[in-house]
Chains A and B, each alone.
Chain A
Amino acid sequence: MELMISKKKVSLLLIISMLVMILSACSSNSNSKSNNVDNTNAGSKGSEQESVPVELDIFVNHPWFPVKEWSGSIPQLITEKTGVKLNVTVAADDKQLPLMIASGDLPDLIFTSTELDRLADSAISYSWNELIQKYAPDFKVDATRIAINTAADGNFYTIRNNFATQEEWDASPNAIISPGALGFRQDIMEELGNPALRTLEDLENILGQVKAKYPDMIPLLLDKNWGSYYFKYQFGIPTVTTNLYEQDGVVSYFVNHPNTLDYYKYINRLYRNGYITGENFAFKDTLRDNDYVQKGLVFAEVDNVNDIDNMNSQITLGDNYKLTHLVNPLGTDTKYYNASVGWSGVFITKENSNPEASIKFMQYMFSEEGQKLGFWGIEGKHYKWNEEKQYPEILYKQGDSEYINSEAIGFWGLMSNSAALDIADPNYDSAKVKKAVKDTMVLVPELGLLIPKSDSEEGVILSKLEAMISTEEVRIFMANSEEEAEKYYQDMLAKAEQIGLSKYEAWLNKKYAEVKPLFGK
Chain B
Amino acid sequence: MDYILRRWRGRTLEDWVVDSVNMFLLLLVLIVTLYPFYYILIISFNEGTDAARGGIYFWPRKFTLDNYETFLNDHKWRIGFLVSSARTIVGTLLGVLFTSLVAYGLAYKQLIFKKVYFPIIIVAMYFSGGLIPYYVVLRELQLLNTFAVYVIPTMLNLFFLLIAVSFFNDIPDELQESAKIDGANDLTIFYKIILPVSKPLLATMSLFLGVGQWNSWMDSAYFVRNENLRTLTYRMIEIINQSTMPIDPVGSAIASSMNTTTTFSIQITAMVVAILPIICVYPFLQKHFVKGVMLGAVKG
A/B touching: CB–CB < 8 A = yes
Q: List 27 A-B contacts (CB under 8 A).
A: A1-B92, A1-B206, A1-B281, A3-B195, A7-B188, A17-B94, A20-B86, A24-B147, A29-B145, A29-B146, A31-B226, A32-B229, A34-B225, A57-B225, A65-B260, A95-B131, A105-B139, A178-B257, A285-B244, A291-B52, A295-B52, A304-B256, A310-B259, A316-B52, A317-B53, A405-B260, A414-B254
Chain B residues within an 8 Å CB radius of A132: none
User: By the criterion of a CB under 8 Å from any partner CB, how many residues of chain A are at the interface?
Assistant: 75
Q: Chain B contacts of A34 at CB under 8 A?
A: 145, 225
On chain B, the residues within 8 Å of A167 by CB distance are none
Assess whether B147 is in contact with A162, with CB atoms less than 8 Å apart. no
Interface of B is mostly: helix
CA distance A35 to B146 in the complex (A): 13
Identify which of A103, A162, A239 contacts B136 (C-beta below 8 A).
Answer: A103
Residue of B with least CB distance to A294: B52
Give the segment of B159-167, B234-242, B270-278 that binds chain A: B234-242
> Would A178 and B253 count as touching, CB distance under 8 A?
yes
Most buried by B among A7, A28, A93, A107: A28
> Does B284 sit within 8 A of A, measured CB to CB?
yes
Q: At the interface, yes or no: B42 with Cβ under 8 Å from chain A?
A: no
With A1-B285, A10-B191, A103-B132 as contacts: A64 and B246 at CB distance below 8 Å: yes
In the complex, the answer to whether A286 meets B252 with C-beta atoms within 8 Å is yes
**Min distance, Cβ B79 to any Cβ of chain A, angstroms:** 11
* Given pairs A34-B225, A310-B261, 20 additional interface contacts (CB within 8 A): A7-B187, A7-B191, A14-B94, A17-B94, A24-B146, A29-B146, A32-B225, A32-B226, A57-B225, A64-B260, A66-B260, A90-B238, A92-B218, A240-B253, A286-B252, A295-B55, A314-B52, A340-B250, A401-B259, A404-B258
In the complex, what residues of B have CB within 8 A of residue A63's CB? 241-242, 244
Q: Are A294 and B222 in contact (CB under 8 A)?
A: no
Closest chain A residue to B51, Cβ basis: A294
Confirm or deny: A354 has a beta carbon within 8 angstroms of a beta carbon on chain B: no
For A21, what are the chain B residues with a Cβ–Cβ distance below 8 Å?
A: 90, 146-148, 151
Closest chain B residue, CB of each to CB of A311: B52
B40 near A: Cβ within 8 Å? no
Chain A: minimal CB distance from B39 (Å):
15
Q: Could you tell me which B residues sit within 8 Å of A by CB distance?
A: 49-50, 52-55, 76, 86, 89-90, 92-94, 97, 131-132, 135-136, 139, 144-148, 151, 187-188, 191-192, 195-196, 199, 202, 206, 210, 217-218, 220-222, 225-229, 234, 237-238, 241-246, 248-262, 281, 284-285
Secondary structure class of chain A's binding surface, majority of residues: loop
Residues of A within 8 A of B195 (CB): 3, 5
- Asked if A294 meets B132 with Cβ closer than 8 Å, knowing A28-B228, A240-B249, the reply is no
Q: List A153-212 residues whose CB lies under 8 Å from chain B.
A: 162, 177-179
B40: min CB distance to chain A, Å: 16
Is A13 engaged at the interface, CB distance under 8 Å to the other chain? yes
Which residues of B have CB within 8 Å of A162? 250, 254
Residue of B nearest to A25 (CB): B146
CA distance A177 to B253 in the complex (A): 9
The residue in chain A whose Cβ has the minimal distance to the Cβ of B257 is: A306
In the complex, the chain B residue whose C-beta lies closest to that of A292 is B54
Expressed in whole angstroms, the minimum distance between the Cβ of B231 and any Cβ of chain A is: 11
Q: Do the beta carbons of B244 and A343 come within 8 Å of each other? A: no
Most chain A beta-carbon contacts within 10 A, residue among B52, B55, B148, B199? B52
Is B50 within 8 A of A32, CB to CB? no
> In the complex, what's the smallest C-beta–C-beta distance from A304 to chain B, in angstroms?
5
A224 to chain B, nearest CB (A): 9
A409 and chain B: residue at smallest CB distance: B258
Q: Which residues of B contact A20 (CB under 8 A)?
A: 86, 90, 147
Cα distance A29–B142 in the bound complex, in angstroms: 11
Chain A residues 358 to 374 lying within 8 A of chain B, measured CB to CB, are: none
Residue A411 lies at the interface, judged by CB distance under 8 Å to chain B: yes
A33–B226 Cα distance when bound, in Å, is 7
User: Which has the most chain B C-beta neighbours within 10 Å: A25, A295, A414?
Assistant: A25
Name B222's contact: one of A13, A96, A240, A404 (CB within 8 Å): A96
Q: Which residue of B lies closest to A66 (CB)?
A: B260
Interface contact B251-A62, CB-CB below 8 Å: yes
Complex Cα distance, B65 from A407, in Å, reads 24
By Cβ-Cβ distance, the 9 closest A-B pairs, closest first, are A32-B226, A63-B241, A306-B256, A25-B146, A92-B221, A294-B52, A178-B253, A24-B147, A7-B191
Contact in complex: A241, B251 (CB < 8 Å): no
Q: How far is the CB of A152 from chain B (nearest CB, A)?
A: 22
User: Quick check: B196 and A316 within 8 Å, CB to CB?
Assistant: no
Question: Among A7, A31, A33, A240, which residue has its beta carbon within 8 angstroms of that of B250?
Answer: A240
Question: What 0/1 readout, one digit per residue, does chain A (325-350) give for beta carbons within 8 Å of chain B?
Answer: 00000000000000010011000000
- 8 Å CB contact of A17 from B90, B228, B234, B241: B90
The answer to whether B254 and A343 touch across the interface, beta carbons within 8 angstroms, is: yes
* A7-B188, A34-B145 known; A93-B221 Cβ under 8 A: yes
User: Hey, which chain B residues are within 8 Å of A422, CB to CB?
Assistant: 257
Q: Does A68 contact B (CB under 8 A)?
A: yes
Q: How far apart sit A92 and B147, CA to CA, in the bound complex (Å)?
A: 19
A57 to B224, CA, bound (A): 13
Q: Is A229 an interface residue (CB 8 A)?
A: yes
CA distance A406 to B44 in the complex (A): 22
Name the B residues within 8 Å of A66 (CB-CB): 242, 260, 262
**Smallest Cβ distance from B251 to chain A, in angstroms?**
6
